[in-house]
Structure 1
Amino acid sequence: MTDWGCYLSTMRATAPLVQNITNYVAMNVMANVLLASGASPAMAHAVEEASDFAGLAQALTINIGTASGPWIASMWAAAETARAKGTPWVLDPVAAGATAFRRETSNRLVALKPTVIRGNASEILALSGAAAQGKGADAADDVHMAEDGARALARSSGAVVAVTGPEDFVTDGDTAWRIANGHPLMPKVTALGCSLTGVVGAFLVGQPRLEATVAALAYFGLAGERAAKGAKGPGSFAVAFIDALHNLTPEDLSHGAKVRPA
């Protein structure tokens, strides 16, 4: 039986510096989530320093949610540096299939060999070349519909692919896991999915990428379950969620992870 809590323990002992090139909506929430989890966030996206900062960071995450020309230049520069240095990096292809601009941006970033690609079912289907029904940044496809596409994308890109939803699916193209932790209030708070990408990046530092990704998703979902117990709605849940991330112990995760092979 896998001790998923050991990955949380290692992440916190490392307290990794994670560079996040993310969207305007997510920055504050994502920074607070990473701090509460035990990592050190840096929201460094200026094209003048993105590559240099990627050379300093222990992990990089890229989210195309509010991408524009200058930000995309920063994303490419940072991803190229991370790839050259062997730094783990995570791609969050927000609404990848919505427009030609997003499809092209996502495909060019996939070519730079992310360690992990994390998205909802519609985003992963779009990246895999399958038909998808996304509604903006929201998924209109079920996770199980994207599982074959996720395996194919993992094999073609060399990345671990995480499809997140009510039950998450994570694969490296051969081995796969399902993670059932989480709560229905989580999608009611903006930027939590974007913030999860940062947590995955933090867990990757110095740890095996498939298991670290699974542990990060279980940790995030378990914190949601804990936060929901005293929440009266999305507002109080958002505050309780930050506390839950901070208070969850490796032992809590070892006992509370709802993970099984797929």
Structure 2
Amino acid sequence: MSTTTNAPTVDDLASALEALRARVPLVQSLTNIVSANFLTNVLLAAGASNAHIDNAHEAGEFARIAGGVLINLGTPDDGTAVAFTRAAEAAHEAGTPWVLDPVGVGGLSWRTGLAADLLKFRPTAVRGNASEIIALAGLGGDTRGVDSADEAAAAVPAALALLEHADVVSASGPVDYLVGRDRDGHLTGLRIAGGSAMLPRVTSTGCSLGGLVAAYLAVAPTPLIGLAAAHAHVAVAAEIAEENSTGPGSFAVAYLDALFTVDAATLRARARIDTLDLPTKDAH
């Protein structure tokens, strides 16, 4: 089994949060109609900003100047599919970090094919629930709409397979599982615990995590640190929100407040991150 000597630490995540607040990266979100408003509020609360540029005429142009790009397949149509492709191609060419959130992949054939086509532009990060990650990697999986019928831990082999196409991959669940490479280029797996059972009871919390990943990728020294920082920020904020709410409505408000109030010291005190044992054979 692998030993990871330079995996991201809580201090790395805290430094990434400080960089996010200092630089206020601009995310271009090509996201679904359900999540656009909440995603924007999440980014603003966390310390970034958002531009919802998802038309085919401007998507590619804007992807070249944005800090990070999110492509979310929640409600695709013919027009947004063209915009996704142009944004992904432009981001890849310009070196803009971009995130693929393969919502519903595996359950619907057209969007599954679209997601597979987008992989050729090498997303910096792929972020989804366990079933989506498994399906995207071609390993099957049971996807029910935007819900996952698989545990996140079960998606680790699929996430490793997707490193053929992306720098980092994460599968979300009650515990989040992340794979990528450390500062020395070694294959690394991370597990981030925390969060709240209220997260799936508020629409767009997963989609907005994809936007936050794009924001952190714009400022973090490595993709794995950026991905882990976004997941940890959400996990800690959700825990705090649950402590200060009584149901989904109050949780949504408390969650935005917590994203805003979580700082580097809070992450150092509350983030729960540890490394996974992975096979010694690297994925390329």
1:94-173 to 2 correspondence within 5 Å? 94-154=103-163, 156-172=164-180
Task: Look up the equivalent residue of 1:165 and give its one-letter code.
Answer: G
- CA offsets per residue over residues 12-54 of structure 1, 9 Å max, x none? 1110010000000000000000000110100111111111111
Give 1:200's aligned residue. 213
1:23-34 to 2 correspondence within 5 Å? 23-34=32-43
1:1-262 to 2 correspondence within 5 Å? 1-3=9-11, 4-154=13-163, 156-172=164-180, 174-207=187-220, 208-262=222-276
Any unmatched runs of 5+ in structure 2?
A: 1-8, 182-186, 277-284
Task: Look up the equivalent residue of 1:158 and give its one-letter code.
Answer: A
Give 2:6's aligned residue. none
In 2: Cα distance, 1:96 partner to 1:160 partner? 18
Task: Look up the equivalent residue of 2:257 and give its one-letter code.
Answer: D
Identity %: 41
Number of aligned residues: 261
C-alpha displacement of 1:2: 3.9
Please state whether the residue corresponding to 1:172 is helix, strand or coil.
strand
Q: TM-score, normalised to structure 2's length?
A: 0.90
Q: TM-score, normalised to structure 1's length?
A: 0.98
Task: Look up the equivalent residue of 1:187 and give its one-letter code.
Answer: P
Task: Look up the equivalent residue of 1:228 and give its one-letter code.
Answer: E
> Which is helix-richer, 1 or 2?
1
C-alpha displacement of 1:55: 1.7
Task: Look up the equivalent residue of 2:111 and give its one-letter code.
Answer: R
In 1: Cα distance, 2:240 partner to 2:159 partner? 29
Please state whether the residue corresponding to 1:111 is helix, strand or coil.
helix
In 2: Cα distance, 1:172 partner to 1:221 partner? 19
Q: What root-mean-square deviation, in Å, do the aligned CA atoms of Structure 1 and Structure 2 show?
A: 1.0
C-alpha displacement of 1:144: 1.4
Q: Is the 8 Å Cα contact of residues 10 and 271 (structure 2) preserved in structure 1?
A: no
In 2: Cα distance, 1:131 partner to 1:104 partner? 14
Q: Is the 8 Å Cα contact of residues 126 and 166 (structure 2) preserved in structure 1?
A: no
